[in-house]
Every structure is written in C-alpha cells, then in structure tokens.
Amino acid sequence: MNTLIRPIFIFFFCVVASTAFGQETIIKGKVTDANSGDPIPFVNVLFKGTNIGTTTDFDGNYLLKTNSPNDTLLASYIGYKPRTKVITKGISQTVNFQLEEEVTNLQEVVVLAGENPAFEVLRKVVRNKKNNDKRRLTAYEYDTYTKIEVDVDNMSEKFRERRLIQKITQVLDSVERIAGEDGKPILPIFITESVSKLYYRDNPNSKFEKILHSKINGLGVEDGTTVTQLVGSSFQEYNFYQNWLNIVEKEFVSPIADGWRLYYDYDLVDSLFVGEHYCYRLDFFPRSPQDLAFTGSMWITRDGYALKQIDVNIGKGANLNFIEKIRIQQELEPTADGAWLPVKNRVLIDVSELTSNSAGMLAKFYTSNKNFVVNKPYDVAFYERPIQLDERARLNQNDETVWDTLRHEPLSETERNVYKMIDTLRNIPVIRTYTDIIKIAVDGYFGIGKKIEIGPYPDLISYNNIEGVRVMPGFRTTYAFSKKWTFGGQVGYGFIDEKYKYSVYAKQVLSTRRWTTWSIRSRSDLGRLGFDDEAVGGNALLLASQRWGFFRRGFYFDETRVDFQRELFKGFNQRIAVRYASFDPAFNFGYYENPEDIVNSPIGSMYTTSEVILESRYARDEVFLQDDNQRLSLGTIRWPVLTLRYTRGIKNFAGSDFDYNKLRFSFEKGTRLGILGTGKLRATAEYVFEPLPYTLLGLHLGNQTPIFTPLTFNLMDYGEFVSDRYVTAQYNHHFEGLLLNRMPLLRKLKWRFVGTANMVYGSMSQESQNLIVQNTDPSNEILPPGQLSLRKPYVELGYGIENIFKFFRIDFIHRLSYLDGPEVRKFGVFGTVQLTL
C-alpha cells in the first residue's frame, strides 16, 4: 500500500470506529403485565451482565441512555419471569416488555447471626407513623382522576367454542391485537373515567367527594348515576399506615402495622434513589400463606422513614373465594406539613374462573391525585354529603376534546380501542339479551321498555296451607318514567282460600340535598304472626320464603300507611308515619274485651288499629349512594346505628279499638377485630305501656324453616314467645379462617368458623295476660303464646362452618332455656347459600 495512503486509511478507520463506538444508545419503552395489560412500576431494566440500567416509573415507562451498552436488555421484577430483548446499538429505539407472572413458593428469608437488618428499619417506620400518616392533618383536599376497566380474561378454547362467544368472533379477533405481541387476549366489558374534587377534615372525621365529570361505557349500564358514585376515588383509597386495611370486605394486616413482626417475614434487599428520595427496599412475606396478609415490596425513605412507594399482592393461597390475585401499587409524596399523601394508586383484582369451561374477570382501578391543599378545613356542614354528583357531570362525557384536557395522563392506544370494542359489543343482539337476563337475576325485575319493570320474580308463585298455590305478579316504574316519583303494585290470588291480595304504593322524592321523601302504601294480604316484614328490611329471599310452608298462626289484614322522612342533618333522619290496619285471624284467637269482668266480657277476635309513629335514626358515618329517586345505604364505617321509635295508638280514630303507647330503641354495629375476624351486634329494647292482645305486643321473630338467618331466633317457633317489655341481643361472628387455617388437613379447604349468640330477656305484664282467652274447650284450640320470665332469659348459642365449597354455610344451634314441652326444638342444623369472598 502506498506509504501516503496508509496513514490516511488508518486515520479514516479510527475516526469511523470512534464515531461508531461513541454513538449514544437511547432506549425507551413500557413494561406491562402480559395477563392484564396493566403497566408494571418499579421494574429493573438494565443491560445484561452490567450495572447500567434504570427502573420503570409508576406508569411502567423507562428511559435509558448510554455510550457503552451490550446488545441485550433485561427486564426483571419480583413475581415475574425475567425477559430479555436484543437491541441495536447506537440509535434511538422503543423496546416494550410484557412480563408473565412466575408461580413460585414464598421466598425463604435466611437470617444470619445477629438481628435481621430489616427489623431496625421497621421499628423506625412505626415510630415515625404519627409524623407521616395523612390522618395527622386537620384537613386536606386535592383534584383526583379515576379510571376503572373491567375485562373478561383467561378465555379457554372451550369457552371460545360456546355459541354465544362464536357470535362475537369478530370482536375477539380485535382482542388479539389489543393484547400485544406477548399478552393474553382480554374482552373489555366496562370502562369509566371520572374527575372529582376530594375533601377531608378531622374532628369530626368527615370526607366529601364532588364528582365533576364522568364518562361511562359498559355492557348493561344505562343511566349510570349510581355507578358513577361507586367508581369515584372515595372507594379506591388505601392507607397502609392503618394497622388493618378493609379490602373486598375483608381485613388485611398492613406490612407496617404496629404488630408487624407477628404476621410477616422481611428481607432488606437494596438501597437506592427513588426520585429525590434515598430509600430502603424491603420485601415481605406472610408467615402463614392462608392469612389475610400481603406479599410484596416497599420503599422506605432514609430521611423520616416514610413510605415512598409500595407494591403488594394477595395470592390464591389467602383464604379468599373467587379471587386469583389482588394487587395494589401506590406512590406517595410529602406535603408541606410533612405528612405523605398518595399521588398515584393502581389496584387490580383478578377474579378466577368458576369452572374449567368458563372465563375469569379482571377489574382494574387507577387514580391520580394532584393540587394538594392541607390544613384548611371547611365548615362541618360542607361535608354533609359524602358523595355528590355534579348536575353537569355527564354533559361532556362523549366529547374527547374536553376529556383530553381533563385527564391527568392521556389514554393509551389500547385504552382508546377498549372504548371502541365495548361500543361494538353493545350493538350485538345476543349480548343485549344476555345482559337483560343477568339484570333480571340480580334485580328481580324485567324491563318492558324503559319506563316499566315487571316483578319481583321471587314473589311470583308460592305455596302454603292456607292459600294453596299463590300467584302474585307486580310492576314498578323506573327513573325514565319520573326522576321524582316511583309507582308500583302487585295483585295476587290464592287457589285454596280463593281470596285476592294486592299491594300498591307511590313515593315522591321532595329533596335530594337533604334526603326528603313521602310515600303512601295500601295492601291487603295474608300475614304470619311472629314474622315482621319491616324488621327484615330488604331481604327479598327471606320475605319470599316465609310465603311457603305451614302457617300455624296466619291472619288476613288490610293496611294503609303514609310515611314522611327527612334528613335533618348528616346522619340524623326523622320519620313520621300514620298507619291504619285491620286484623282478621285465620287461626282460633280470642281476647277479653273487658278483662275486669271476664265472666260477662265479650270475646273479640278481629280488631283494627290506628297509629302515629315517630322515629329518629342516627348513623353518624353512614355512606349512601343517591340516585334520582332512590338512596342505597352502604352501611356505617365505625359508628353504630341508633334508632328510637315511639308509637301512639289512638282509639276510635277510623274505627280503632285500642289506645296505647309503645317505645322501642335499637342498636346495630359492625365490629372489626383484625386477626380475630368481624362481627355484627344487634340489640333492641321495647316497652308497651298499656295492656293489649298479645298479637299487638312484641312477637319475637322465630324461624321454622331450615334456612339460617341471623335476624331471627332460629329454634323459636313463629309467635312462640310474646313480651310487652323486653331486651334482645343477637351477635354473629365470622372468624375468617383464624382457627381452621392453623389445621394442616383443613386449611386447604378454606373453611371458616362462625359463631352466633342470641338472647331475649323479657316478660308479659299481668294486665296483658288477663286479656288472653283461657282455652276451656279443647275443640276450640285457641293458641295462647308462651311467656318469658324476667328471672330466666331465652338463649341460643351456635357454631358453624361457612365457605363449604365456597357457597354453603351450616350452623348448629343449641337452645339453652325454655326446654319444657314435647315440640320444643332443643337442637337444630340449619343451612344457607351465601356468596362471600
């Protein structure tokens, strides 16, 4: 080679080589779950065999720049199979990962000589809780964006071969494309977004969420007013600084609970910067796989020992039904006061398939919070309604231009396709048919058009010894008929007694701000003495079941009732009612109309009553979902429900036969005892001031069916005991696997132990006893009631197993007092079907 050319060639080669080797490699991408399609935060993405790497943010995104990479990129995270991809050096490129879950046994924590170094971190976390917990703030508020998606997943080949699924094959083809190159196909059925303002204040503890905008698209969702309130951020909030977190109505122990060492093993894995905060990463695992505890990782700041971010899982080993997995991810930031508030939350609930031929379901929740304001509380009256839907909330729900400005982050292309797919599904005729069938099964009514519904189907047909076969169809109006008025009615006929029955009602909502309604109801029907349909409330199956079987003390009645109720202030409701009723027994019944002269007293059997009822009800932290013409209670959180009722019977008003006064007080409270489970206590006390026929006194609610119900005394017959002064207490406790989880041969069955205790302490005054006709003629068969003694309460104790094959509960009840008599049931076995998680 020419001596002049050689140096030029060498110089040119070095320049090219140095340019090539010095070219920066820029890689960006997203890491998602192959099953759910959700982004995975906190994933380690690095060049294989090097320390050059980064971690994905809360939305699964990463960005990596380097001048000296190798050609293999590795993505790895606890609970997932690691994944590698080949990259091209020296250019900018996008590399996405879809990671599959790895089914492994819980990691074994090996502690060498000396104390586990994670323990000191945990002790400091607990000591600093009072400084970092958001509950220390006197008030806070922020803007929040919520997104919820529900999908069908785990669609097996047999599931796809079903006739219904074959009819939507075209949609399923689109699902394959949405899943991505490595993802599993999912079928979206519901997606919603909402933008709201959330306010909280302490002392008194109050929360208020105002939903400003909402966008709903899903199968079977029409009006969506109630759904919009259910999907607000108020129901997607979890605070790990609490010792126990209530998730799907179960109590889970936090990994930073005060008693953390009793429930978890820990491993101090790493220390690293997360944003601007230097953090310790701790992995944790439940000591017992069946316990309601988490597996996961958390990042604790070195400065202040605050929870910076956390990623927890509840696996199929936990004592839960129908749940494959629950995953919660949370990222927090400090406020000006020092307490930390969540800025992003992601929750995934994976519902397992019920059979090998069915599919599963995914529910995905995401919230983003910003614009925090702390320690500036409003007046208490500001928080009166826990959830309020702005009148304009759904005005712009289909305007994508508006929603692009409202979202905290833009929708991904996959999420935009979800909206299109749901619109396609809703227009398939067979989907509309199946949606209607499901609504009938859940609601009990079948829609005829949009304004009228037929039902309820549990009342359609029944059989008992007095009526024989009984049919009773009915109807009710919907919100489309009127947003203020509701009308309904039923007409029935018994083929043995050959009597018609009916029930008609009307209800008007006068105010939704301070919930105010009035209603009128008139009915003529057959009742069962000892069964109070008002006491069992909305238990439709129990109401329908009491129409069946043998009526020992049946009676016909006509009733007209007018009710007015108003919420005077948050949690306090006042009700006024006027009630007229007649009583016509279908059994031999009599009372002395003049007990002072029994020999000459006429004996009455039929009578009428006219009553005025005043009722005050206080439930301090009760949460309601409020629609245009109805309100649904979700129960209270910490405080009991207290009810005081006064009843005044007025003689000679509308033909009434009696003058009397009654006073009743009731108490109801749920209990959450952490590892000991949950329970519910109901207590009632009543005093009747004047002597009355026993059919107007306190008839303790018995149960002559084989179906267990916590509302009744299960070994007491209908109308067996009557009192005019009494106190009752009923307690039902769910141990949630506390005992059976510790038994090696039983814990795989996931059975749960339950216990019950029922008591009545009361009596009947001598004056009321004097009204009872003595049965001197055996052929008359007048049935006097049993009487309790103040010296001896009626007591039932029970124990049982629930969650048998996930659906069944069996209770064994012992009656401990009032055991005399040949027909007394001293012991009983009761069963029921229940759907619990």
pLDDT digits (tens, 9 = 90+) for 64-84: 888 877 888 999 888 888 999
- The amino acid at residue 308 is K
The answer to which of 324-338, 359-373, 474-488, 532-546 has the lowest mean pLDDT is 532-546
Mode of pairing for the β-strands spanning 474-477 and 452-454: antiparallel
d(CA 604, CA 584): 11
Percent of the chain having pLDDT more than 70?
83
Q: What is the pLDDT of residue 538?
A: 56
Whether pLDDT at 671 is above 50 = yes
Per-residue model confidence (pLDDT) at position 516 = 92
Q: How confident is the model at residue 229 (pLDDT cuts 50, 70, 90)?
A: low
Number of H helices, E strands in the chain: 13, 47
Per-residue confidence (pLDDT) for residue 453, from 0 to 100: 87
Measured distance CA(358)–CA(352) in Å, rounded: 9
Q: pLDDT by residue (tens digit) across 338-348? A: 899 999 999 88
Structure tokens at 522: 């008139």
Query: Considering the chain, what is the average pLDDT of its residues?
Result: 82
- pLDDT 10s digits, 267-291: 998 888 888 899 999 999 998 777 7
pLDDT, tens only, 204-224? 888 888 888 888 877 766 555
CA atoms within 13 A on the CB side of 199: 19
Q: Which helix (H) or strand (E) holds 417?
A: helix 413-426
pLDDT at 226: 57
Checking if the pLDDT of 537 tops 60, the result is no
Please report the pLDDT score of residue 179 as a whole number: 56
For position 437, what pLDDT does the model report?
A: 64
Report in angstroms the alpha-carbon separations of 403 from 106, 214, 560.
43, 10, 51
Strand order through the sheet with 721-723: 698-699, 721-723, 786-787
Looking at residue 650, its pLDDT comes to: 95
pTM above 0.85, yes or no: no
Q: How far apart are CA 127 and CA 356, in angstroms?
A: 49
Domains, in order of start, for the chain: 21-99 (2.60.40.1120), 118-434 (no CATH), 512-833 (2.40.160)
Query: What residue ranges in 702-835 does DSSP mark as E strands?
Result: 721-723, 725-734, 752-763, 786-787, 794-804, 808-815, 827-833
| Confidence at residue 171, expressed as pLDDT on a 0 to 100 scale | 56
The model's confidence at residue 785, banded by pLDDT at 50, 70 and 90, is low
